[in-house]
Amino acid sequence: MIIDSHYHLEERLLSVAELLKKMDETGVGKIALMAVMNNLIADTKGFILTIMRFLLTHRRFREIGNRMIANFDAEGNIKVPDGIIEIYPDPDNEPIFKAVKGYPGRFLGWIFINPRGKNDQVKEFEKWKDEPGFVGVKAHPFWHRFPPVELLPVAERVAEMGKPLLIHVGFGIDGDFNALVEKVPNLKLILAHTGFPCYSDTWREIKDNENIMVDLSARSYVDRKITRQVVDYLGADRVLFGTDGPYGHKGEDGKFDYGYIKRRIEELFPDRGVQKMILGENLIRFAEL
């Protein structure tokens, strides 16, 4: 079973019907869906992404990268070269579990929470946790601008259930996942985008903690070199296939190229045993699916 661990259900870019067709074409059995947290934005030019990754993966230039991609306005939206990314404080979980219910054999669902949103994080978790297909909790300390330790009430609950917490960390206090792990040592934690934005520094921090995984999602944050390096360093049993779709590389049809990251994994790691771990077995084991 091949499972995409990280996909936003953004039907303005790709409908459910289109997504199912692409899954069939690329041999993906299931997707763990998560809610949309921002408005539609223009595709960032490739050379800008290359510069960003260079700045972030080299410690002495990381602060420049920080200023480049963590430029928030007074309303909490992000200024980027192509415009403003409007951030939704309370991503809507209802479409996620509606899709899971409609296609239980194809979709799983993350509960997206924000401790600084209008929706109480515990109530939001309790509302959806018993839904069929529930895989874990998703949060975005970077774009929602909060320290991960503020997730403590929900982190304790998912740890009790043996389910993972998937987070996209940021810079400084927004990236301090260790403060949360210290309070919930049995927490199963997934760091999105191979531990963006500190990459190899983060890998060294988590090397000896098998309760922490990373996913390989997002062409913007993760290239071939980073993919190879993180698998070599942490091991194939500590990484998860994810796309961050439907954002990223477009195919010949002008829509998201759903097979792009899967092809990269297969090309970089021709060993079928390694592929099976990354593409599905690790998530099945880690999330107790």
> Mind listing the pLDDT tens digit for each residue in 260-288?
999 999 999 999 999 999 999 999 999 99
CA distance 203 to 111: 26
For position 21, what pLDDT does the model report? 98
**pLDDT over 80 (residue 190):** yes
> Mind listing the pLDDT tens digit for each residue in 24-40?
999 999 999 999 999 98
CA distance 285 to 289: 7
Whose structure tokens read 């309070």?
183
For position 212, what pLDDT does the model report? 98
> Mind listing the pLDDT tens digit for each residue in 116-150?
999 999 999 999 999 999 999 999 999 999 999 99
Copy the structure tokens of residue 233.
Answer: 């360093």
> Mind listing the pLDDT tens digit for each residue in 78-110?
987 777 899 999 999 999 999 999 999 999 999
For position 111, what pLDDT does the model report? 98
For position 80, what pLDDT does the model report? 78
**pLDDT over 80 (residue 43):** no
The model carries a pTM of 0.97
Give the gyration radius of the chain's Cα atoms. Answer: 17
Average pLDDT along the chain: 96
Spatial neighbors of 72 by CB under 8 A, at least 6 apart, are: 78, 79, 145
CATH of region 3-286, choose from 3.40.640.10, 3.10.20.30, 3.20.20.140, 3.90.1150.10? 3.20.20.140
> Mind listing the pLDDT tens digit for each residue in 46-77?
888 899 999 999 999 999 999 988 999 999 99
> Mind listing the pLDDT tens digit for each residue in 198-228?
999 999 999 999 999 999 999 999 999 999 9
Question: Once rounded to an integer, what is the mean pLDDT over residues 147-170?
Answer: 98
